[in-house]
Structure 1
Amino acid sequence: MQTVAQTLLNHRSIRQFKPDEIPQATLDEVLHEAVVGTSSSGNLNSFSMIVTRDPARKRRLYELHGEQEFVLQAPLVITFCADWHRTRQWLRLRGACDNFNNFLGYQVAANEAMLISQSVTLGFEARGYGLCYMGTTLQAMGKIADYLQLPQTCLPITTIAVGVPDEQPERRERLPLRAYVHDETYREASTAELEDLYRAREESGWQRYMSMPRLRAMCEEGGITSLAQMYTSPYKYDPEAYAATSRQVLDALRGRGFLPEPPTDEAVPTPAG
């Protein structure tokens, strides 16, 4: 078992897995430790975890997650959900006021879903397993919620595919620590400081893209000449696609009861005469 420091320093996103199954006892142990050891607002634990192992059901998740092959390779897929449904049922059972079916409730539950996902991630990685987070969970939030039969005020936030690694990728670069840490108040970096902060990242990231024939061809075809341009191109995080996905997320929040329509004021009668 690795220490927390070792686990964090050894983290890699794994996208190739061996077919080895994860023992039920190991899964139970990791999830139990995560639930016990993760902070929660009011100890209400506003999250749920959907564990998927069935190959047919994993195939449907593979389709919903943009057909990423590692979803089929990994023996285990876990979807982390922002979930107030269970708590709201308990409130109703005890004659308490209903609550949390609002945007603040969503925000709290979404934060807790991410917190528990990181605890689960550390638990698996400390035991030598590898995994990959899937941001496509948000892009297909509504469809995933329907497929997993999630009730009102319950939505998927993130997903991990877990298994025995079948690759040893290089560690991805990060900006220097000073880019993230601010003393007392936020301090905006100057142009010169930004240039310095991003220089190594731009060089290594661009070299990595150019080393892949498919990505190099895409960049040449699209006239992309820098890492920053790639990140906001149609091939990566296209602003238009982001705007469309944002609308889909809002629709999912409304459809699952997290954004109830505001009450409309009754019409004020016009005085006669």
Structure 2
Amino acid sequence: MQTVPEALAGHRSIRKYRPDPIPQAVINEVLHEAITGTSSSGNLNSYSVVLTREPGRKRRLYELHGEQEFVLQAPLVVTFCADWHRTRTWLRRRGARDNFGNLLGYHVGAFDAVLLSQSVSLGFEARGYGICYMGTTLNAMHEIAQFLSLPESCVPVTSIVVGVPDEAPGKRDRLPLRAFVHDETYRVPDEAELDDLYREREVRGWERYMADPRLRAKAEEGGITSLAQFYTSPYKYDPDRHAADSARIAAFLAEHGFLPEGTR
């Protein structure tokens, strides 16, 4: 069992897995430790987790998550949900005023669920398993909610795959610590400082992308010449796609009781 610093130092996003199943006792232990040891707003525990292991159901999640191969390879997919359905039902049954079916409620539930997801991830990694977060959860919130039979006021916010790693990728670079940490008040970097913060990242990130023949071909096809351009291209975080997805998410949250109808 690794310590927390060891697990953090060893973290990698794993995208290739062996088929070895994860014992149920290990899953239960990790979830128990995470749920009892993670902070929760008001101790209301406004989250739920859905475990998916059955191959046919994993295949459907593979489709909903953009057909990422590791979803099929990993033995376990964990979907973390912002869940006020349980609490709101309890409040109603006790004659209390209804609450949390609003934007603030969504934020609290989503943040609680993400806090829990990191504790769960550390728990698995400390035991030698690999994980990978899937931001594609947000792109398919409506479809994932339907597939997992989530009730009103319960929405998926992030997912991870878990399994025995079948690769050993290098650790991804981060910006220098000074890019993130501010004493007392936020200090906006000037252009020279910003260039200095991103200089090494731009070189390493671009080299990593160009080492992949498929990504290199896309960059050449799109006339992309920098990491920043690639990040906002149709091949990565497309602004047009993000605008459409943002509208879909707003409509979905309204449908599930977190926003007024018609909110965009």
Structure-2-length-normalised TM-score: 0.98
Amino acid in the other structure paired with 1:97? R
Matches of 2:195 and 2:92 in 1, distance apart?
Answer: 55
Matches of 2:116 and 2:209 in 1, distance apart?
Answer: 32
| Displacement after TM superposition at 1:248 (Å) | 0.8
Matches of 1:75 and 1:166 in 2, distance apart?
Answer: 12
Amino acid in the other structure paired with 1:149? S
Counterpart of 2:79 in structure 1 is: 79
Q: Confirm or deny that 1:254 pairs with 2:258.
A: no
Matches of 1:261 and 1:193 in 2, distance apart?
Answer: 44
Q: Which structure: larger Rg? A: 1
Counterpart of 1:180 in structure 2 is: 180
Amino acid in the other structure paired with 1:227? L
Amino acid in the other structure paired with 1:108? V
Counterpart of 2:150 in structure 1 is: 150
The alignment partner of 2:155 has SS state of strand
The percentage of counterpart residues that share the same residue type is 70
The alignment partner of 1:79 has SS state of strand
Q: Confirm or deny that 1:121 pairs with 2:121.
A: yes
Which residues in structure 2 correspond to 1:1-273 (within 5 Å)?
1-261=1-261
Ranges in structure 1 where 5+ consecutive residues have no aligned partner: 263-273
Amino acid in the other structure paired with 1:86? R
| Displacement after TM superposition at 1:261 (Å) | 3.8
Amino acid in the other structure paired with 1:100? F
Amino acid in the other structure paired with 1:238? D
Per the alignment, do residues 210 and 261 of structure 1 end up closer, same or farther by CA in structure 2, a change over 3 Å counting? Answer: closer
The alignment partner of 2:11 has SS state of coil
Cα RMSD over matched residues? 0.8
Amino acid in the other structure paired with 2:50? I
Contact 2:255 2:261 in 1 (8 A): no
Amino acid in the other structure paired with 1:214? R
Matches of 2:41 and 2:207 in 1, distance apart?
Answer: 43
Matches of 2:40 and 2:208 in 1, distance apart?
Answer: 39
Structure-1-length-normalised TM-score: 0.95
User: How many pairs were matched up?
Assistant: 262
Deviation per residue, 1:100-124 (Å, 9 max, x gap):
0000000000000100000000000
| Displacement after TM superposition at 1:210 (Å) | 1.0
| Displacement after TM superposition at 1:148 (Å) | 0.5
Matches of 1:158 and 1:132 in 2, distance apart?
Answer: 11
Deviation per residue, 1:120-140 (Å, 9 max, x gap):
000000000001000000000
Counterpart of 1:269 in structure 2 is: none
Matches of 1:204 and 1:63 in 2, distance apart?
Answer: 31
Matches of 1:261 and 1:196 in 2, distance apart?
Answer: 45
Amino acid in the other structure paired with 2:230? M
| Displacement after TM superposition at 1:93 (Å) | 1.2
Deviation per residue, 1:18-59 (Å, 9 max, x gap):
010000000000000000000011100000000001111100
Amino acid in the other structure paired with 1:256? H
Ranges in structure 2 where 5+ consecutive residues have no aligned partner: none
| Structure 1 moving runs of 4+ over 6 Å | none
